[in-house]
Each structure stands twice: as C-alpha cells, then as structure tokens.
Amino acid sequence: MKFPYGPAPLAILIIAVLTGIALAVWGPLSHAPDYRPPDLVLATFVPEQAEVYHNAIPEFEKQNNCKIEIELVDQNALQSRLQSALQVGADVPDMVELMYGTMGVFTKGPLEDVGLVDLTDKIKASGLYDRLVTNRLSKWSSRGHVFALPHDVHPVLLCYRRDLMEQLGIDINKLTTWEEFSRVGREVVKKTMRPDGVPEHYMIDMQSDGNDTLILLLLQHGVGLFDAAGNVTFDSPAALDVVCWYVKQVEGPTRISFPCGEGQNFAKAMIDGLCLFYFCPDWRANRIELEIPSLSGKLALMPMPAWEPGGLRTSTWGGAGLAFTKQCRNFDLAWKLAMYLYYDRAQLGPRYAVTHILPPLKSAWDLPQLSESSPFYSNQSLGKVYSAMAPFVPEEHDFAYNTIANGKLSEAFTNASYYYKVHGEDGLREYARAELKRCADHVRLVMARNVFLKPQPAQVSEASGK
C-alpha cells in the first residue's frame, strides 16, 4: 500500500523514527548508571565560566560529598525562564549568575517579595565587605540590601595602538584629561584627513548613539542612571556636562570618534588603526586577544583620561553576579560553593588563566597568574594594570527600570546630537538639558506607576545610608 501522504512526508517519518531509535539507544544521557540527582544546580550564561566551574567542581564534590550541576543557559533564555518561574512560583535553579542590569526586575517590589536571598547579613558576618572591592556590591544591591555576589570588577582602561602613537607623535602621558584628549584627537583627525573628506584615523571608538560608552563616562563623572535610592539622575548637571561633551565627539566639525561596532568589522577597524583608542574593560581585553591575534605586540593599555586634573581615571562596564534563589535547597552548601568558586584564592588563579577577568577579591590580586606579562599587550601585565584601577571603580546602581532609562538617555542624547549637527554649539546646552529632563521625567512617570514601591520612600533613603 502506498503511503497516503506522499514520498516526502514518508521520508520525514522515516527520519523521525530513525532518530527516535537513535536517541533511545544513545540513551537519555542524564540517567547514566552512576547518575545521581544534583544537590545544587548553578545556572550561568557565560560559556567560559561554565567551563571553569566544570573543572573546579569535582574537587568540591569530593570535599563535601555532594553533587553539583552547572547549567549553561543563553542569557535571554535564563532571564525569561527565571522571570516566568518566579512569577508563577515554578522551580528555579538554586544559584543563578545574573548579567548586569538584569537584577532590578526582581527587586522592584517590597524587599520581602524579592525571589532572591538577601545576603547582606551573611556578607557582613563573613567579613567579605573588607575583602572585596566594596563599590562593586552596589551593583548587586537594592535599597542597601545585597542580593548577589560580584563575580568581577571590570575596571575600564583605554586600549591603544601603541605602534601608531609614535608615528602620529602622540604622548600618552599627556592624555590625562578628556579635554586634552579631545584636543589631540581633533589634531589627529585634521592631520590624517583624506582627499575624500574622511580621516584615516579617528581618536577613539565610541558608540554614536550613546549607550554603554556614554554610561561608563557618566559613571566616571560620578553619576549613573539612578542613585542608590533608585532616583533617576541622568538629567543632573554632571550628566549634562558629559552628554554635551560626548555629542561633540561624535558629531560635527569637532568629531573625533567612530563607532567600530562588533565582530569582524571591529577587528578590521582595529587592524587598520581606524581608531587609536578603545574603551577596554578586562573582558574586552581578553576578547580582543582571542579575536584579533594579528595585533600581537601592537596594543597597550592605559588609564582613562579624567574629567578634571587628578580625577578618577577608570570606570566600569558590564558584570555578572551570583544570586541564591529563595528556593535554594541547601543554602549553607550553596554559600560554601559560592565561596569556593568566587573567593577562594586557589580557584581564582586557574579561573583567571581562562577568563582573564579580575576577581573582586583583593587578596587574589597578587596571584602569579595575575602578574604574568602579556606579550599581546606589549608585555604589560594585565592583572597588574587592571588591579591598579580596580579599587577605584565607581559605584553603579541597578534598578528595574534600567533598560527603559538606558533607552530614554539614548533618546535624549540622539536628539541632542542631531541638534548639534544642525545648529552647532549655540543653544546646545539648553536644548540638551530640556531633552534630558523630558526623558528622565518619562522614566519617573513609569516608575510612579509601580504600586508596590510607592509607600516606601522614607525607608529607601534610610536604607541607602547603610
């Protein structure tokens, strides 16, 4: 008898049956003979970290006679799964590594409703406050309560094409303020202008629509999207200064920057020396080394210029934190595991060798792995240059309305930069101030809709004093 659906569906049916059999024979790997259900599940969104943990786990399991499972989940999936699960009260992993900017969603209600364990007292009792870069805890706090352990510090330096500096006659030691940096930048652009009206070199890689690079500059200047109490602050005078400066670097006759983007085109821009300087936290330094091996020996790192002479010469960009869900089956074991993976000197050396991400544990900064010199970065020791800036990274506050604030800041910025393109400097400041105010007010309006946070303002300011 002929298959009534035709030959192609028959072929697909055969594939279905064959692969079904293959999977059955292969066996559901999760139930191998020596399989034992895990005592703890830790979910992470960073493949390299999952790999490091995999290697570190067996020893911990032996020491504590337990079974730990590391789950690698795509960041977006982890976030939607966690949010959906916490919304409906479904099962969640015992421990979760969260990406920066994503914790706020869980802390937008009353503190007792947060689905993550409040770690404040535990951190105080264990003396971690003094052993870690304290500012780093702000990122994982809400109203003075800490809900996750920082995985990293991510200080920002500038990565530059060392070989081109001499060629273009730039003395990096003089680039101590942004004002001077911009002035030199304008010279470079002018000096290397091609006949077709575009320069051979730009000074720095900056996103033309604000976002991450604008925010890290805001943080360097002491303002973020929010303050510790969760108030919108991106329309403050300090923020206005940064926005007005930034606009002039990406638009009009004063432009010194180029948005190099990501991936292959970023690599090409770097190889061509299209931009001379790049904002470079530790994770990016590692990524550049992996993605663009041909630049070996041509790059080096230096502190960021400051906003005023003697000012802060670093900032922070990105990060992950380890949170414990309230459903965690064995908090003590989980805490032990966190201490083992995050703040155990013996583990941090091998971890650094793989990820090149500086740990927030200050006593780990003298580990031999961290002081190794890197031929790729002109024999500088990455561990040393980053840890030199690490104690000074600015505080950064996470909030549920991060993304929307980010989008609104970018909107105000984009409008200001369009204004500058059309009208020049006249009235730019007033215009930018009005736009920032309008956009910040929008975020305030959205936040005011949150019925769960309303009765709490007094408690908020008190808690933030810590």
Partner 1 sequence: MNSLQIFVLVLAALFILLLPFSRTIAFKYGRFVLLLFVGTVMLMPFVWLICSAFKSTDAMSQYSFLPPVSKISSETINLGNFHTLLAPESTVQGPVTFWRYLTNSLFLASTLTIVSLFFSSLGGYALAKHRFAGRNLFMIYMLASMTIPGVVLLAPNFAVIWRLGWMDTYKALIVPGAVGAFGIFLFRQAMLSVPNELIEAARIDGCSEFRIYLQLIMPLVRPMSGAFCLISFMGAWNAFLAPNIFLQSQSKLTLPVVLNQYMGTYVQHYGVFLAGTLLAMIPPAILFFSLQKEFISGLTSGAVKQ
Partner 2 sequence: MSESSIAKRAPIGWRLRSRSTPYVFLFPYVAINLVFFLLPLIYATVLAFYQTNGPARRAYVGWSNFTFVLKDADFHKALWNTTIFAIFSIGLQLPLSLGLAMLLNAKNDRFKGIFRLAIFAPNLVGQVFVGVIFSVLFTPRYGLFNRGLQALTGWGLEQQWLGDSKLVMPAIIIAAMWMYVGFNMIYFLAALQNVDQNLIEAAKIDGAGPGNIFLNVIVPAIAPVATFVVVTSTIGSYQLFELPYNMLKNNGGGYGPSNSGLTIVGYLYQNAFTNGDLGTGAAVGWLLTFIILIISLVQIRIVGSVGSEI
Binding site for partner 1 (CB under 8 A): 2, 4-6, 8-9, 11-13, 15-16, 19-20, 22-23, 26, 28-30, 32, 38, 45-48, 54, 69-77, 80-81, 83-85, 87-88, 90-91, 99, 262-264, 267-268, 270-271, 283, 286-287, 290-294, 318, 355, 357
The option from partner 1, partner 2, none interacting with 6 (CB < 5 to 8 A, set by class) reads partner 1
State how far the Cα of 156 lies from the Cα of 277, in Å rounded to an integer: 12
The option from partner 1, partner 2, none interacting with 294 (CB < 5 to 8 A, set by class) reads partner 1
Residue 264 near partner 2 by CB under 8 A: yes
Residue type, position 191, single letter:
K
Nearest to 304 by CA among 202, 219, 211, 226: 219
Residue 318 near partner 2 by CB under 8 A: no
77-116 mask for partner 2 (x: CB under 8 A)? --xx--x--xxxx---------------xx-xxx--x-x-
Residue 261 near partner 2 by CB under 8 A: yes
State how far the Cα of 208 lies from the Cα of 215, in Å rounded to an integer: 13
Residue type, position 408, single letter:
K
Nearest to 150 by CA among 364, 373, 428, 313: 364
Inter-residue contact 440 to 232 (CB < 8 Å) = yes
Half-sphere CA count of 198, side-chain side, radius 13 A: 4
Quick one: which of 401, 419, 420, 431 contacts partner 2 (CB under 8 A)?
A: 401
**Which residues in 167-226 contact partner 2 (CB under 8 A)?**
198, 207-211
Quick one: which of 147, 226, 234, 258 contacts partner 2 (CB under 8 A)?
A: 258
Nearer to partner 1, 9 or 427 (CB): 9
Neighbouring CB atoms inside 10 A of 267's CB total 17
Nearer to partner 1, 173 or 264 (CB): 264
Residue 236 near partner 2 by CB under 8 A: no
The option from partner 2, partner 1, none interacting with 167 (CB < 5 to 8 A, set by class) reads none
Tokens of 335: 């805490």
Longest Cα separation, the chain:
88
**Sheet of 320-324, strand order:** 68-72, 40-44, 95-99, 320-324, 149-150
Residue type, position 162, single letter:
R
The option from partner 1, partner 2, none interacting with 192 (CB < 5 to 8 A, set by class) reads none
State how far the Cα of 89 lies from the Cα of 59, in Å rounded to an integer: 33
**What separation in angstroms does the CA of 213 have from each of 259, 318, 410?**
10, 11, 11
Given the rule CB under 8 A, which residues bind partner 2? 79-80, 83, 86-89, 105-106, 108-110, 113, 115, 198, 207-211, 258-265, 268-269, 274, 400-404, 406-407, 410-411, 413-415, 418, 442, 446, 449-452
